[in-house]
Chain A
Amino acid sequence: MDFALSKEQLMIQQMVREFAQNEIEPIVAEYEAEGRFPEEIIKRLGEIGILGMTVPKELGGGGCDTVSYTLAIEEISRACASTGIAVSVNNSLACFPLLTFGTDEQKAEFLTPIANGSSLGAFGLTEPSAGSDAAMQQTVAVKDGDDYVINGIKHFITNATVAEVYIVFAMEDKSKGTRGITTFILKKGDPGFTFGTIEDKLGIRASIQAELVFENCRIPASRMLGQSGKGFKIAMMTLDVGRIGVASQALGIAQASLDRSIQFANEREQFGKPIGRLGAIQEAVANMATDIEAARMLVRYAAWCKDSGKPFSKEAAMAKLFASEMAMASATKAIQIHGGYGYIKDYPVERYFRDAKITEIYEGTSEIQRLVIALNVLSGK
């Protein structure tokens, strides 16, 4: 067993850490306050290959492994969780299904531009009445000659409006249940495809979520991704990968909470000494540090399983469940360690607290992760 990161992984971690600290950290407070999407930062991350990290080089990606990907998302999210999710969605929810299920033509036309940083991708599964119960798709796709006509609404879709490529799920044959769902590749500007409400949120305010609205949206049948009726399977497999990204994002938020807590505990004096010398604060910091390390091991293990070609659905769910709940707890502790300062917007920990919450919700709520884990465990996996 070897816990050491490889030279390649260390170089990637170091590079992304420097980028995040030098380029993202100084501007994040402003972007979050204004709810402004960090377009320029995303563009620059694209230029250095962060938007299609595990996509092979021939297809425009970086060609690195999933462990390196978790290191990058952690470092980015440590500076800015909004940038973290924009990048994670592009890598895992848009690049991954195109790479895994796309034809060569589809890869050339849709994967390469979102992997090489020319544009962004998004993933549209959730609907107003199909959340955790994703099989309840109301969006319908009807075959018409050589085309498909799509009608329906997706909501809460990350990167909507800024993305060019959308992986969209729709019901083709309701009688077949989950086997009636098919995946399509939509492009911004397709006739009948528009955007609805842009959401106003508690946290990750610099990221964008909006509705995708399809009104008799007509696309050629060549836009079908994978086979007809395989949509649900594609969605679930894609979310397994996505969960490794969200778990890494949670890890980054937790690490930032700890970084700030350590700094504050060493500087803030009460009762004539730094509060870091008080037993209660030491206990909080020790628990945070330990939980973060435990989460990191789960995240890297899930990524390693994927890189090694082993099953990783349960491992990804465990990593996401543990890391997200740990991030929420760490951000809560960070505010407590900061006392009143922690509640004030001059300090970043109140942002970590607001940002951490979403990691327990998207790409499957904690309840759904427990469901996935339980089903695996109970069936002896």
Chain B
Amino acid sequence: MNIVVLIKQVPDTTDVKIDPRTGTLIREGVPSIINPDDKHALEEGLRIREKFGGTVTVLSMGPPQAEDALMEARAMGADTTVLISDRAFAGSDTLATSYALARSVITTGEWDIVLGGRQAIDGDTAQIGPQTAELLGVPQVTYCIEIDIAEDGRSVTAKRALEDGYEVIETKLPALFTVIKDINQPRYPSIRGIVNVCRDCDVQTWNAKDIGASKKMIGLDGSPTQVARTFAPEPKGDGLILEGPPEQTTKELVKHLRDKNVVRVR
């Protein structure tokens, strides 16, 4: 089974700050991590390999420092990692990113399954998985909490967690799955894994040419999205705290709820 996992390096914070002047993310002083969902995707890939054999190839598109995320992935047990990096990718929106990732998946050779996170904690669009699947022309199952591959190594039953319930989908490989945290508990990298990665650093990088990307499809040229304005939403005001004995605060609370039309009392 040839398993491909897509991981993104993101700033280690859920509280992303935006520079009000330039409208870009403030990354200084914020350490980078593997996007949380993606660690679960990698864990799932490693488990599939443990069951069916094969290899786990991890791809990440980003600047050279994204190699740190790939090193961690290798220390966790990935067989091969590739950094997809090229100045020509600058300004890529989610479509151009998906195109580059789809080209990279194809460049890995024979592949059976692509795994990714549901959503990146910085970009937050959850578009990469679905778009990449479309570009690869394979079925996609998003929001997975279970991916059960049958003995034949082809038929898959996947369980999706939706807001109002679960959906169980049957499909056939090759296919792309995006996962959420509940799917598994990612392993910690081992000492041996870390030592191996740090002592034989084979950094594999693919540029736009290596993945056979067409210039029109990447970077600003390949990005139909126009960003009109980026801004930090006004922070929500402080909540209201009612103090006093319960009989009194309950009355006040009901009054507030009624005034704001949250509840109507007949």
> B63-98: which residues lie under 8 A (CB-CB) from chain A?
71-72, 75
Contact of A63 with B190 at beta-carbon distance under 8 Å, contacts A11-B71, A11-B72, A11-B75 already known: no
Neighbour of B191 across the interface among A6, A18, A64, CB < 8 A: A64
Instruction: Tell me if A15 and B195 are in contact (CB < 8 A).
Output: no
Enumerate chain B residues within 8 angstroms of A8, measured Cβ to Cβ: 194-195, 198-199
Question: A63–B192 Cα gap in the complex (Å)?
Answer: 6
Contact of A49 with B192 at beta-carbon distance under 8 Å, contacts A7-B198, A8-B198, A8-B199 already known: yes
Q: What 1/0 mask marks residues of chain B from 189 to 207 whose CB sits below 8 Å from any chain A CB?
A: 1111011011100000000
Instruction: Tell me if A57 and B195 are in contact (CB < 8 A).
Output: yes
Question: A19–B186 Cα gap in the complex (Å)?
Answer: 11
Enumerate chain A residues within 8 angstroms of B72, measured Cβ to Cβ: 11
How many chain B residues touch A (CB < 8 A): the figure is 14
Contact of A48 with B71 at beta-carbon distance under 8 Å, contacts A8-B198, A8-B199 already known: no
How many chain A residues touch B (CB < 8 A): the figure is 20
Interface presence of A53 (CB below 8 A): yes
Output the least CB separation between A38 and chain B (Å): 16
Interface presence of A50 (CB below 8 A): yes
Instruction: Tell me if B195 and A48 are in contact (CB < 8 A).
Output: no
Neighbour of B190 across the interface among A6, A7, A62, A68, CB < 8 A: A62
Question: A71–B198 Cα gap in the complex (Å)?
Answer: 17
Q: Secondary structure of the B side of the interface?
A: helix
Interface presence of A12 (CB below 8 A): yes
Q: What 1/0 mask marks residues of chain A from 1 to 28 whose CB sits below 8 Å from any chain B CB?
A: 0000011100110010011000000000
Output the least CB separation between B102 and chain A (Å): 31
Instruction: Tell me if A18 and B198 are in contact (CB < 8 A).
Output: no
Interface presence of B52 (CB below 8 A): no
Enumerate chain B residues within 8 angstroms of A49, measured Cβ to Cβ: 190-192
Question: A18–B39 Cα gap in the complex (Å)?
Answer: 14
Interface presence of A47 (CB below 8 A): yes
Enumerate chain B residues within 8 angstroms of A53, measured Cβ to Cβ: 191
Instruction: Tell me if A63 and B188 are in contact (CB < 8 A).
Output: no
Instruction: Tell me if A11 and B189 are in contact (CB < 8 A).
Output: yes
Instruction: Tell me if B188 and A19 are in contact (CB < 8 A).
Output: yes
Q: What 1/0 mask marks residues of chain B from 140 to 174 whose CB sits below 8 Å from any chain A CB?
A: 00000000000000000000000000000000000
Output the least CB separation between B192 and chain A (Å): 5
Shortest 6 CB-CB contacts between residues of A and residues of B: A62-B191, A49-B191, A8-B198, A48-B190, A49-B190, A11-B194
Write 9 A-B pairs (CB below 8 A) sorted by A numbering: A11-B194, A15-B75, A15-B194, A49-B191, A57-B192, A62-B190, A62-B192, A63-B191, A64-B191
